Amino acid sequence: MTSSDHVAGREQETARAHAVPRADADGPPPWVAVCGTPVAVVQGSWSGRRGVGSDDVCPRCREQAPA
Ligand SMILES: [Zn+2]
């Protein structure tokens, strides 16, 4: 998969960034990241500063969804 296949999601409690499959993010919530964590918000490109560029990035999502 490429980065365009994922969007950045944010976990409500921790604000940690996760990768959400774009096809899922286009649909209604709840959304689940590729690591299995539910995310409360989807907010733009996984390859951007709200995804892998953010301060707290889920290591499992980074592994499974290279940006
Ligand atoms: Zn994750």
Report long-range pairs for 24-32 (Cβ below 8 Å, ≥24 apart). Answer: none
Q: For 31-38, what is the mean pLDDT? A: 96
Distance 29 CA to ligand 1 centre (A): 16
Into how many domains does the chain fold?
A: 1
- Per-residue burial over 17-42, b if 16 or more Cβ lie within 10 Å, else e, is bbbbbbebbeeeeebebbbebebeeb
Surrounding residues of ion ligand 1, Cβ less than 5 A: 18, 33, 35, 37, 58, 61
Distance 36 CA to ligand 1 centre (A): 7
Considering the entire predicted model, what is its pTM?
A: 0.89
Q: What is the pLDDT of residue 25?
A: 94
Q: Provide the domain limits for residue 27.
A: 3-64
Q: What is the pLDDT of residue 4?
A: 74
Asked if pLDDT for residue 22 goes beyond 90, the answer is: yes
When pLDDT is cut at 50, 70 and 90, the band that residue 58 belongs to is very high
Q: What is the pLDDT of residue 2?
A: 53
